[in-house]
């Protein structure tokens, strides 16, 4: 069965420090991986995706994520956090195998960046 795990409900970092939001997945076949962000009282916004190719993917707002096939991970990173990055972050995955077209979503990680 396909699944996504975001092992941390909450991540706290100081402004200017690097941040990491973790995501691991389980799929049959090759994964398509996505990160979305949900700011308070706003809709979900696409950040970045991994489909194929370079394992390091760069996205919006200075975020990047690294696909690690051996560890089945797709952690979200940013070298220097901003207070405005405080939001809820969701990882999502699906497999390129089979006819299942649904994305499987993690439960989200709340990121708090402290000034």
Interface residue list for other proteins (CB under 8 A):
32, 34, 36, 42-46, 49, 51, 90, 92, 94, 96, 101-103, 105-108
For other proteins, give the closer residue by CB, 54 or 101. 101
Question: Which H or E run includes 25?
Answer: strand 24-26
Q: What is the CA radius of gyration of the chain?
A: 14
User: Residue 14: which of 82, 110, 65, 77 has the closest Cα?
Assistant: 82
Full DSSP string of 29-84: S-EEEEEEEE-TTS-EEEEEEE-SS-SEEE-GGG-EEEEETTTTEEEEEESS--GG
For other proteins, give the closer residue by CB, 40 or 115. 40
The token pair at 29 is 């076949």
Least distance CB 16 / other proteins (angstroms): 29
Least distance CB 22 / other proteins (angstroms): 15
For other proteins, give the closer residue by CB, 1 or 101. 101
Least distance CB 23 / other proteins (angstroms): 12
Least distance CB 25 / other proteins (angstroms): 14
For other proteins, give the closer residue by CB, 16 or 98. 98
């Amino acid at each position: 069965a396909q699944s996504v795990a975001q092992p941390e409900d909450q991540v706290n970092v100081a402004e200017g420090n690097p941040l990491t939001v973790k995501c691991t997945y389980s799929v049959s076949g090759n994964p398509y991986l996505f990160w979305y962000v949900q700011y308070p009282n706003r809709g979900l916004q696409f950040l970045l995706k991994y489909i194929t190719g370079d394992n390091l993917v760069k996205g919006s707002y200075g975020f990047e994520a690294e696909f690690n096939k051996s560890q089945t991970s797709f952690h979200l990173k940013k070298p220097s956090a901003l207070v405005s990055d405080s939001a809820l972050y969701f990882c999502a995955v699906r497999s390129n195998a089979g006819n299942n077209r649904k994305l499987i979503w993690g439960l989200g990680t709340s990121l708090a960046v402290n000034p």
